[in-house]
A = this chain, B = another copy of it.
Amino acid sequence: MTDEPRHELAHLGPHALRTPDPEGTLRYFTGLLGMDVVAEEGRATYLRAHGDYEAWSLKVIAAERAEPAWVSWRTWSPGALLRRTEWLETHGHRGRWIPADRGIGPWYEFTDPDGHVFRLYYGTQRHTAPPESRPVVPTNHQAYAGRGANVRRLDHVNLLARDVRACREFWETAFGLRTYEIVRRPDGHQEAAAWMSSSIQGHELIYTGENTAAQGRLHHLAYVVDSREEVLRAAEIVADARIPIEAGPSRHTAIQGFYLYTREPGGHRIEIAHGGYLVFAPDSEPHIWNAEEWKAKPGWGAPLPPEFHLYGTPPDGTAAGGDGER
Protein backbone atom coordinates (compact mmCIF):
# COMPACT_ATOMS: atom_id res chain seq x y z
CA MET A 1 0.00 0.00 0.00
CA THR A 2 2.85 2.39 0.71
CA ASP A 3 3.65 2.71 -2.95
CA GLU A 4 0.18 3.76 -3.97
CA PRO A 5 -0.23 7.25 -5.32
CA ARG A 6 -2.57 8.44 -2.55
CA HIS A 7 -4.13 11.90 -2.64
CA GLU A 8 -2.96 12.81 -6.10
CA LEU A 9 -6.43 13.65 -7.42
CA ALA A 10 -8.52 16.32 -5.69
CA HIS A 11 -11.93 16.10 -7.33
CA LEU A 12 -13.86 15.62 -10.55
CA GLY A 13 -13.67 18.76 -12.67
CA PRO A 14 -15.14 20.04 -15.90
CA HIS A 15 -16.76 17.53 -18.22
CA ALA A 16 -18.17 17.69 -21.72
CA LEU A 17 -21.17 16.16 -23.46
CA ARG A 18 -21.94 15.99 -27.17
CA THR A 19 -25.63 16.36 -27.97
CA PRO A 20 -27.73 16.16 -31.13
CA ASP A 21 -30.29 18.52 -29.54
CA PRO A 22 -28.26 21.37 -28.10
CA GLU A 23 -31.29 23.55 -27.56
CA GLY A 24 -33.13 20.86 -25.61
CA THR A 25 -30.01 19.90 -23.67
CA LEU A 26 -29.34 23.50 -22.66
CA ARG A 27 -32.96 24.05 -21.70
CA TYR A 28 -32.72 20.99 -19.47
CA PHE A 29 -29.51 22.04 -17.73
CA THR A 30 -30.49 25.67 -17.27
CA GLY A 31 -34.28 25.69 -16.85
CA LEU A 32 -34.69 22.40 -15.00
CA LEU A 33 -31.36 21.79 -13.29
CA GLY A 34 -30.82 25.49 -12.63
CA MET A 35 -27.33 25.83 -14.09
CA ASP A 36 -26.12 29.04 -15.74
CA VAL A 37 -24.60 29.59 -19.15
CA VAL A 38 -21.31 31.41 -18.76
CA ALA A 39 -20.06 31.45 -22.36
CA GLU A 40 -20.80 30.29 -25.88
CA GLU A 41 -18.26 29.67 -28.57
CA GLY A 42 -18.98 28.02 -31.87
CA ARG A 43 -20.69 24.72 -31.24
CA ALA A 44 -19.86 24.81 -27.53
CA THR A 45 -21.73 26.27 -24.59
CA TYR A 46 -20.14 26.47 -21.15
CA LEU A 47 -22.22 26.15 -17.99
CA ARG A 48 -21.75 26.11 -14.25
CA ALA A 49 -23.73 25.03 -11.21
CA HIS A 50 -24.12 27.39 -8.26
CA GLY A 51 -21.80 25.34 -6.04
CA ASP A 52 -18.89 25.19 -8.48
CA TYR A 53 -15.86 27.16 -7.39
CA GLU A 54 -14.43 27.07 -10.88
CA ALA A 55 -15.45 29.32 -13.77
CA TRP A 56 -17.27 26.55 -15.59
CA SER A 57 -17.90 22.86 -15.23
CA LEU A 58 -20.03 21.58 -18.11
CA LYS A 59 -19.32 22.02 -21.82
CA VAL A 60 -22.21 21.17 -24.10
CA ILE A 61 -21.14 20.52 -27.69
CA ALA A 62 -23.57 20.43 -30.60
CA ALA A 63 -22.92 17.18 -32.46
CA GLU A 64 -24.49 14.49 -34.56
CA ARG A 65 -25.23 12.15 -31.73
CA ALA A 66 -25.27 11.93 -27.95
CA GLU A 67 -21.92 10.84 -26.62
CA PRO A 68 -19.66 11.69 -23.73
CA ALA A 69 -16.78 13.90 -24.83
CA TRP A 70 -14.56 13.79 -21.75
CA VAL A 71 -14.44 13.94 -17.96
CA SER A 72 -11.66 15.59 -15.98
CA TRP A 73 -9.93 15.40 -12.62
CA ARG A 74 -8.16 18.24 -10.91
CA THR A 75 -4.92 17.09 -9.29
CA TRP A 76 -3.92 18.07 -5.76
CA SER A 77 -0.89 20.03 -6.94
CA PRO A 78 1.14 20.85 -10.01
CA GLY A 79 3.56 18.15 -8.92
CA ALA A 80 0.80 15.57 -8.84
CA LEU A 81 -0.14 16.50 -12.39
CA LEU A 82 3.40 15.88 -13.55
CA ARG A 83 3.77 12.65 -11.61
CA ARG A 84 0.55 11.22 -13.01
CA THR A 85 1.24 12.14 -16.61
CA GLU A 86 4.69 10.66 -16.29
CA TRP A 87 3.21 7.47 -14.93
CA LEU A 88 0.78 7.29 -17.84
CA GLU A 89 3.52 7.83 -20.38
CA THR A 90 5.78 5.22 -18.87
CA HIS A 91 3.06 2.64 -18.45
CA GLY A 92 1.66 2.52 -21.94
CA HIS A 93 -1.11 5.06 -21.57
CA ARG A 94 0.40 7.94 -23.50
CA GLY A 95 -1.98 10.84 -24.01
CA ARG A 96 -1.51 14.39 -25.21
CA TRP A 97 -1.48 17.92 -23.86
CA ILE A 98 -4.39 20.20 -24.74
CA PRO A 99 -4.27 23.96 -24.22
CA ALA A 100 -6.38 25.69 -21.57
CA ASP A 101 -10.03 26.18 -22.41
CA ARG A 102 -11.64 29.34 -21.06
CA GLY A 103 -9.23 29.62 -18.18
CA ILE A 104 -9.03 25.99 -17.18
CA GLY A 105 -6.10 23.78 -18.15
CA PRO A 106 -3.75 22.94 -19.79
CA TRP A 107 -5.07 19.40 -19.78
CA TYR A 108 -3.47 16.06 -20.30
CA GLU A 109 -5.93 13.93 -22.26
CA PHE A 110 -5.83 10.13 -22.18
CA THR A 111 -8.15 7.16 -22.22
CA ASP A 112 -9.11 4.51 -19.68
CA PRO A 113 -8.96 0.83 -20.66
CA ASP A 114 -12.48 0.98 -22.12
CA GLY A 115 -11.70 3.99 -24.28
CA HIS A 116 -13.41 6.76 -22.29
CA VAL A 117 -11.61 10.06 -22.68
CA PHE A 118 -10.31 11.65 -19.46
CA ARG A 119 -8.37 14.79 -18.74
CA LEU A 120 -6.09 15.82 -15.91
CA TYR A 121 -5.42 19.44 -15.04
CA TYR A 122 -4.29 21.64 -12.20
CA GLY A 123 -4.48 25.19 -13.52
CA THR A 124 -7.92 26.63 -13.05
CA GLN A 125 -9.85 29.84 -12.87
CA ARG A 126 -12.09 30.63 -9.93
CA HIS A 127 -15.55 31.92 -10.57
CA THR A 128 -16.06 35.56 -9.73
CA ALA A 129 -19.73 36.29 -9.42
CA PRO A 130 -20.90 39.32 -11.36
CA PRO A 131 -22.76 41.95 -9.31
CA GLU A 132 -26.19 40.57 -10.19
CA SER A 133 -25.41 37.15 -8.76
CA ARG A 134 -23.03 38.04 -5.95
CA PRO A 135 -23.82 35.95 -2.88
CA VAL A 136 -24.56 37.68 0.39
CA VAL A 137 -22.35 35.20 2.30
CA PRO A 138 -18.88 35.55 0.81
CA THR A 139 -17.97 31.88 1.20
CA ASN A 140 -20.60 30.97 -1.39
CA HIS A 141 -19.56 31.07 -5.00
CA GLN A 142 -22.69 32.77 -6.27
CA ALA A 143 -26.16 33.78 -5.15
CA TYR A 144 -28.69 31.01 -4.66
CA ALA A 145 -31.41 31.55 -7.23
CA GLY A 146 -33.55 28.50 -6.59
CA ARG A 147 -34.40 27.80 -10.22
CA GLY A 148 -35.78 24.30 -10.84
CA ALA A 149 -33.88 21.45 -9.26
CA ASN A 150 -31.02 23.85 -8.55
CA VAL A 151 -28.19 21.33 -8.55
CA ARG A 152 -25.10 22.24 -6.57
CA ARG A 153 -22.37 20.51 -8.55
CA LEU A 154 -21.39 17.31 -10.34
CA ASP A 155 -21.46 14.44 -7.86
CA HIS A 156 -20.22 11.43 -9.77
CA VAL A 157 -19.76 9.86 -13.19
CA ASN A 158 -20.87 6.38 -14.14
CA LEU A 159 -19.25 4.78 -17.18
CA LEU A 160 -20.01 1.51 -18.92
CA ALA A 161 -17.06 -0.81 -19.42
CA ARG A 162 -16.64 -4.23 -20.94
CA ASP A 163 -13.98 -5.03 -18.35
CA VAL A 164 -14.91 -3.32 -15.11
CA ARG A 165 -12.08 -4.96 -13.22
CA ALA A 166 -9.43 -3.69 -15.59
CA CYS A 167 -10.79 -0.16 -15.33
CA ARG A 168 -10.92 -0.30 -11.55
CA GLU A 169 -7.37 -1.57 -11.27
CA PHE A 170 -6.17 1.10 -13.70
CA TRP A 171 -7.50 3.91 -11.46
CA GLU A 172 -6.26 2.31 -8.27
CA THR A 173 -2.79 1.77 -9.64
CA ALA A 174 -2.33 4.91 -11.67
CA PHE A 175 -4.14 7.43 -9.48
CA GLY A 176 -4.70 5.91 -6.06
CA LEU A 177 -8.46 6.09 -6.26
CA ARG A 178 -10.07 4.14 -3.46
CA THR A 179 -12.69 1.53 -4.24
CA TYR A 180 -15.55 1.35 -1.77
CA GLU A 181 -17.76 -1.35 -3.28
CA ILE A 182 -17.39 -4.07 -5.93
CA VAL A 183 -19.94 -6.44 -7.42
CA ARG A 184 -18.38 -9.74 -8.45
CA ARG A 185 -19.75 -11.74 -11.33
CA PRO A 186 -20.71 -15.40 -10.69
CA ASP A 187 -17.28 -16.54 -11.92
CA GLY A 188 -15.83 -14.95 -8.78
CA HIS A 189 -13.28 -12.96 -10.73
CA GLN A 190 -14.91 -10.68 -13.27
CA GLU A 191 -16.70 -7.65 -11.92
CA ALA A 192 -20.08 -6.20 -12.73
CA ALA A 193 -19.59 -2.86 -10.99
CA ALA A 194 -17.13 -0.82 -8.95
CA TRP A 195 -17.54 2.42 -6.98
CA MET A 196 -14.43 4.58 -6.62
CA SER A 197 -13.50 7.90 -5.08
CA SER A 198 -10.62 10.28 -4.52
CA SER A 199 -12.04 11.44 -1.19
CA ILE A 200 -14.25 10.45 1.74
CA GLN A 201 -17.28 10.57 -0.53
CA GLY A 202 -18.64 7.13 -1.37
CA HIS A 203 -18.45 7.55 -5.12
CA GLU A 204 -17.02 9.85 -7.72
CA LEU A 205 -16.29 7.37 -10.50
CA ILE A 206 -18.39 4.28 -11.11
CA TYR A 207 -17.92 1.54 -13.67
CA THR A 208 -20.75 -0.82 -14.51
CA GLY A 209 -20.75 -3.63 -17.01
CA GLU A 210 -21.26 -2.86 -20.72
CA ASN A 211 -23.73 -5.43 -21.98
CA THR A 212 -23.32 -4.60 -25.67
CA ALA A 213 -20.33 -4.63 -28.01
CA ALA A 214 -19.83 -0.88 -27.67
CA GLN A 215 -16.97 0.91 -25.94
CA GLY A 216 -16.49 4.19 -24.18
CA ARG A 217 -20.11 4.73 -23.37
CA LEU A 218 -21.57 6.88 -20.63
CA HIS A 219 -24.09 5.41 -18.22
CA HIS A 220 -24.90 8.66 -16.45
CA LEU A 221 -23.69 11.88 -14.91
CA ALA A 222 -25.04 12.69 -11.43
CA TYR A 223 -25.58 16.18 -10.08
CA VAL A 224 -26.13 16.70 -6.38
CA VAL A 225 -28.87 18.60 -4.57
CA ASP A 226 -28.89 19.49 -0.88
CA SER A 227 -31.39 16.99 0.54
CA ARG A 228 -33.47 13.96 -0.30
CA GLU A 229 -36.45 16.30 -0.08
CA GLU A 230 -34.93 18.20 -3.03
CA VAL A 231 -34.64 15.01 -5.06
CA LEU A 232 -38.36 14.45 -4.52
CA ARG A 233 -39.05 18.05 -5.47
CA ALA A 234 -36.96 17.58 -8.63
CA ALA A 235 -39.16 14.64 -9.62
CA GLU A 236 -42.14 16.96 -9.62
CA ILE A 237 -40.30 19.50 -11.74
CA VAL A 238 -39.02 17.13 -14.39
CA ALA A 239 -42.30 15.20 -14.56
CA ASP A 240 -44.26 18.37 -15.24
CA ALA A 241 -41.68 19.36 -17.84
CA ARG A 242 -42.41 16.05 -19.61
CA ILE A 243 -38.84 14.85 -19.16
CA PRO A 244 -38.86 11.03 -19.03
CA ILE A 245 -38.09 9.59 -15.60
CA GLU A 246 -36.33 6.26 -15.90
CA ALA A 247 -36.13 5.36 -12.22
CA GLY A 248 -36.67 6.80 -8.76
CA PRO A 249 -36.83 8.67 -6.61
CA SER A 250 -35.47 5.82 -4.56
CA ARG A 251 -32.29 4.64 -2.93
CA HIS A 252 -29.41 2.59 -4.25
CA THR A 253 -28.08 -0.35 -2.30
CA ALA A 254 -24.47 0.41 -3.22
CA ILE A 255 -23.20 3.60 -1.53
CA GLN A 256 -26.83 4.23 -0.47
CA GLY A 257 -27.35 7.41 -2.48
CA PHE A 258 -30.88 8.70 -3.12
CA TYR A 259 -31.52 8.97 -6.84
CA LEU A 260 -33.74 10.23 -9.65
CA TYR A 261 -32.81 9.18 -13.19
CA THR A 262 -33.95 11.22 -16.16
CA ARG A 263 -33.05 11.43 -19.84
CA GLU A 264 -32.15 14.91 -21.00
CA PRO A 265 -33.51 15.81 -24.43
CA GLY A 266 -30.20 14.99 -26.12
CA GLY A 267 -30.42 11.43 -24.81
CA HIS A 268 -27.92 11.32 -21.94
CA ARG A 269 -29.06 9.76 -18.69
CA ILE A 270 -28.74 12.33 -15.90
CA GLU A 271 -29.15 11.59 -12.23
CA ILE A 272 -30.29 14.07 -9.63
CA ALA A 273 -28.74 12.73 -6.45
CA HIS A 274 -28.32 13.23 -2.75
CA GLY A 275 -26.35 11.40 -0.15
CA GLY A 276 -24.36 8.23 -0.06
CA TYR A 277 -22.20 7.37 2.86
CA LEU A 278 -18.83 8.89 3.70
CA VAL A 279 -15.81 6.67 4.31
CA PHE A 280 -13.58 7.94 7.07
CA ALA A 281 -11.41 4.90 7.74
CA PRO A 282 -8.12 5.28 5.88
CA ASP A 283 -7.76 1.50 5.78
CA SER A 284 -11.27 0.52 4.72
CA GLU A 285 -11.40 -2.43 2.36
CA PRO A 286 -13.87 -2.45 -0.53
CA HIS A 287 -17.10 -4.22 0.26
CA ILE A 288 -17.36 -7.10 -2.19
CA TRP A 289 -20.80 -8.31 -3.16
CA ASN A 290 -20.96 -11.75 -4.67
CA ALA A 291 -23.57 -12.32 -7.33
CA GLU A 292 -26.15 -13.85 -5.00
CA GLU A 293 -25.90 -11.27 -2.26
CA TRP A 294 -26.16 -8.53 -4.83
CA LYS A 295 -29.22 -10.05 -6.41
CA ALA A 296 -30.93 -10.17 -3.02
CA LYS A 297 -30.69 -6.37 -2.78
CA PRO A 298 -30.99 -6.05 0.98
CA GLY A 299 -32.58 -2.98 2.52
CA TRP A 300 -35.10 -0.67 0.95
CA GLY A 301 -35.20 0.85 -2.52
CA ALA A 302 -37.20 0.19 -5.67
CA PRO A 303 -36.07 -2.29 -8.32
CA LEU A 304 -34.43 -0.72 -11.37
CA PRO A 305 -35.99 -1.22 -14.80
CA PRO A 306 -34.19 -3.55 -17.24
CA GLU A 307 -33.20 -0.69 -19.55
CA PHE A 308 -31.16 0.77 -16.70
CA HIS A 309 -28.65 -1.99 -17.32
CA LEU A 310 -28.65 -1.62 -21.09
CA TYR A 311 -29.00 1.98 -22.11
CA GLY A 312 -26.01 4.27 -22.44
CA THR A 313 -24.81 7.06 -24.69
CA PRO A 314 -24.25 6.81 -27.53
CA PRO A 315 -27.33 4.55 -27.55
CA ASP A 316 -25.91 2.73 -30.52
CA GLY A 317 -22.26 1.94 -31.02
CA THR A 318 -18.96 3.09 -29.62
CA ALA A 319 -18.22 6.58 -28.31
CA ALA A 320 -15.41 8.47 -29.96
CA GLY A 321 -15.10 11.16 -27.28
CA GLY A 322 -13.16 14.38 -27.41
CA ASP A 323 -14.00 17.95 -28.29
CA GLY A 324 -13.50 17.75 -32.02
CA GLU A 325 -16.03 18.42 -34.72
CA ARG A 326 -17.95 15.35 -35.85
CA distance A139 to B288 in the complex (A): 10
CB contacts (< 8 Å) of A79 on chain B: these are 2
Contact with B along A126-153 (1 / 0, CB 8 A): 1000000001111110011111111001
**A299 contacts the other chain (CB 8 A):** yes
**A199 contacts the other chain (CB 8 A):** yes
Per the 8 Å Cβ criterion, residues 210-250 of A in contact with B are 226-230, 232-242, 245, 248-250
Q: From known contacts A137-B299, A298-B137, A298-B138, infer whether A240 and B148 are also in contact, taking CB-CB under 8 Å.
A: no
CA distance A137 to B139 in the complex (A): 37
Cβ of A228 and Cβ of B237 under 8 Å apart?
Answer: no
Cβ of B53 and Cβ of A146 under 8 Å apart?
Answer: no
Q: From known contacts A77-B282, A300-B235, A300-B249, infer whether A287 and B146 are also in contact, taking CB-CB under 8 Å.
A: no
Choose from B153, B201, B258, B282 the contact partner of A76 (Cβ within 8 Å): B282
CA distance A282 to B282 in the complex (A): 19
CB contacts (< 8 Å) of A228 on chain B: these are 227-229, 232
Q: For the complex, count residues of A whose C-beta is within 8 A of B.
A: 72
Cβ of B249 and Cβ of A250 under 8 Å apart?
Answer: yes
**A302 contacts the other chain (CB 8 A):** yes
CA distance A53 to B281 in the complex (A): 8
Per the 8 Å Cβ criterion, residues 1-38 of A in contact with B are 1-2, 6-7, 10-11
Per the 8 Å Cβ criterion, residues 130-178 of A in contact with B are 135-140, 143-150, 153
Cβ of B300 and Cβ of A236 under 8 Å apart?
Answer: yes
CA distance A34 to B126 in the complex (A): 31
Q: From known contacts A11-B280, A282-B76, infer whether A145 and B298 are also in contact, taking CB-CB under 8 Å.
A: no
**A111 contacts the other chain (CB 8 A):** no
Cβ of B302 and Cβ of A239 under 8 Å apart?
Answer: no
Cβ of A239 and Cβ of B300 under 8 Å apart?
Answer: yes
CB contacts (< 8 Å) of A318 on chain B: these are none
CB contacts (< 8 Å) of A153 on chain B: these are 280
CB contacts (< 8 Å) of A139 on chain B: these are 181, 254-256, 277, 287
A sample of 8 cross-chain residue pairs with beta-carbon separation below 8 angstroms, ordered by A number, consists of A6-B76, A10-B280, A76-B282, A139-B254, A139-B255, A139-B256, A229-B229, A239-B299
Question: Which residues of A does B touch, CB under 8 Å?
Answer: 1-2, 6-7, 10-11, 53, 74-77, 79, 124, 126, 135-140, 143-150, 153, 181, 199-201, 226-230, 232-242, 245, 248-251, 253-256, 258, 260, 275, 277, 280-282, 284, 287, 293, 298-300, 302
